[in-house]
Amino acid sequence: MAVFDLGYVTQQVIKVIRAAFVPPVWTAGLPPEVRPDPPAKVTSEGLSFYLYHLQENTHYKNLPAPGKDQPAVKYVPMALSLFYQLSANSILEDGTAAYNEQLMMSIAIKALHDHPEINDGNGNRFRITLQPVKETESVHYWTAGSAPLKLSAYYEVSVILLEPEETTSYTGRVLTYGTYLFTERTPRITACQNTISFTIPGEITPRQVTVQPAQAAPGMQIELTGTGFNGDGIELVLVNTRWKERVIADAPWNVLLEAGGSRITATVQETAVLQQTAVIVPVLPGIYAAGVTVIRKRSVPTGGIREFRDTSNQFPFTVSPRIDTVTGPVANVVTVTGYLFQHAELPEEDVAVYIGEQRLNRDTGGGFNAGEFRVIAPGTMELNLPAGLTAGTHPLRILVAGAESPPRWITVL
């Protein structure tokens, strides 16, 4: 997640420093003030954590834009490294001011050492690194004659992504994925694909496209190929960032190992189960990974049978939103049913609708205007066609959590 205000980053680091001034390391009453001001402006008892420099992070300069909007650089997060100066100030008049400043510095630098990464819980992670500034160079950070030289530490905080402009278009899908060969005995997935059938308006014969990695809506079949699948049983393991426990495909997925032991087929379903508790969990549209666990049974010398489980690598695939019906337009409104446009675990901003390359805005409740869409039920949405849309057929593209629906079209008379 990107941030819009660099001050937010400064605040997160200052929170870490402030939290360190507690007994038994700090016993001098109230904690000192930690301010984002330059050292010369901190005239009371406290510390200065001042952002004095920033530069663009070169490792993230060439990220591709997510759409066709121009100029493309506006729609890519700008990656920055921030550089801070940490120093302390004490106003004690009994000859112990320097000792007090050194104590404050000790507590602050240890706090940043013990918390090298800040996770704000909103998808932002900031890495804090103490810079190896030489003693002969540190004097240059102070302007001669304006302030006395002070004990200081210098930090880099990275990587900060500045929020880009919101895109109004979306690029096509990547349909191939590189693979490698591995040994036979260990289960290894080398490809995951599926076949999408569709009929282009004006044609009679359906077309078929093989998609790798698989992009399948619930009800569609995916195919995993690889090596080392032979055994006494197999399990299809599903991985998603929403799940903290192991999730497997249950009976409705119809997981089958075909003859030869190198090809597994499964039919994507709207639910799966937690392996430990058998609790049913929803399979929402989005990006997933699949793994195969091969179960092999062996007799043990003491009698009985022991199961050995060997799990393969994880291979990506996409659960696409499904479009079941498209009706209309009636009074310029098209009704779409399918799976799944609304869920408690699905943020509203994760749902996007395009007609051709034109993005529709979500209805905010102030009036259902042209060029907007609204979700009226978990599996139903309405589209108010954009003004000026020409007669003919237009591709309908629904994206949910980064997954795009199979090809469908809207006909405008």
At 181 the pLDDT is: 40
Peptide bond before residue 218 is cis, with ω within 30 degrees of 0: no
Using alpha carbons, list the distances in angstroms from residue 199 to 204, 205, 324, 339, 345: 7, 7, 15, 21, 33
β partners of residue 47: 34, 88
d(CA 357, CA 54): 37
Asked whether residue 170 is domain-assigned, the answer is no
d(CA 289, CA 287): 7
Asked if 221 contacts 194 with a C-beta cutoff of 8 angstroms, the reply is: yes
Amino acid of residue 379: G
Q: Please report whether residue 1 resides in a domain.
A: no
> 254 and 108: one domain?
no
Asked, for residue 182, whether it belongs to a domain, the answer is: no
Low-confidence ranges of the chain (pLDDT < 50): 144, 176-183
Question: Is residue 133 a part of any domain in this protein?
Answer: yes
Is 279 buried (19+), middle (13-18) or exposed (0-12) by CB count in 10 A? exposed
Is the same domain home to 61 and 129? Answer: yes
Beta pairing class for 392-400 and 408-412: antiparallel
CA distance 413 to 395: 15
| CA 326/CA 355 separation, integer angstroms | 13
Predicted confidence at residue 123, as pLDDT, reads 81
pLDDT confidence of residue 182: 36
Task: Assess if residue 178 is contained within a domain.
Answer: no
Do 54 and 130 share a domain, yes or no?
yes
Domain termination residue (choose one: 300, 319, 338): 319
What residues pair up with 377 in beta bridges, in sequence order? Answer: 380
Cβ atoms of residues 84 and 13 within 8 Å: yes
* Single residue among 319, 340, 365 that ends a domain in this structure: 319
For residue 269, give every residue at least 6 positions away whose Cβ sits within 8 Å of its Cβ, in sequence order, or none.
218, 219, 249, 250, 252, 253, 283
- In this structure, what CATH number is given to the domain that contains residue 338? 2.60.40.10
Domain count, the chain: 3
> Do 12 and 156 belong to one domain?
yes
Q: Cβ-count burial of 287 within 10 angstroms (0-12 exposed, 13-18 middle, 19+ buried)?
A: middle
- pTM, full prediction: 0.58
Amino acid at 320: S
pLDDT confidence of residue 325? 93
Q: Which domain holds residue 380?
A: 322-412
Please report whether residue 84 resides in a domain.
Answer: yes
179 domain residue, yes or no: no
Provide the token pair at 243. 């799940």
Helix (H) or strand (E) holding 101: helix 97-114
Residues 303 and 261 in one domain: yes
HSE at residue 317, side-chain half, CA atoms within 13 A, is 34
Q: Judge if 10 and 157 occupy the same domain.
A: yes
Domain co-membership, 326 together with 314: no
Q: Are residues 388 and 368 in the same domain?
A: yes
Residues 148 and 40 in one domain: yes
Same domain, 135 and 279: no
Neighbours of 49 (CB within 10 A): 23
> Directed axis angle between helix 6-19 and helix 97-114, to 10°?
110
Q: Is 245 inside any structural domain?
A: yes
Place of tokens 């905010």: 364
With beta carbons less than 8 A apart as the criterion, state whether 362 and 371 touch.
no
CB 391 within 8 A of CB 385: no
Long-range pairs of 336-340 with CB within 8 A, sequence gap ≥ 24: 336/380, 336/381, 336/382, 336/383, 336/396, 336/398, 337/379, 337/380, 338/217, 338/379, 338/398, 338/405, 339/217, 339/218, 339/270, 339/285, 339/379, 340/270, 340/282, 340/284, 340/285, 340/378, 340/379, 340/400
pLDDT at 49: 95
227 & 298 share domain: yes
Last residue of a domain, one of 266, 286, 319: 319
Tell me what percent of the chain is helix, strand and coil, each rounded to the nearest 5.
15, 45, 45
- In this structure, the strands spanning 315-319 and 233-239 are unpaired
What is the structure's pLDDT at 54? 93
Question: How far apart are the C-alpha atoms of 244 and 247, rounded to whole Å?
Answer: 9
Centre a 10 Å sphere on the Cβ of residue 222 and count the other Cβ atoms it contains: 24
Residues 292 and 386 in one domain: no
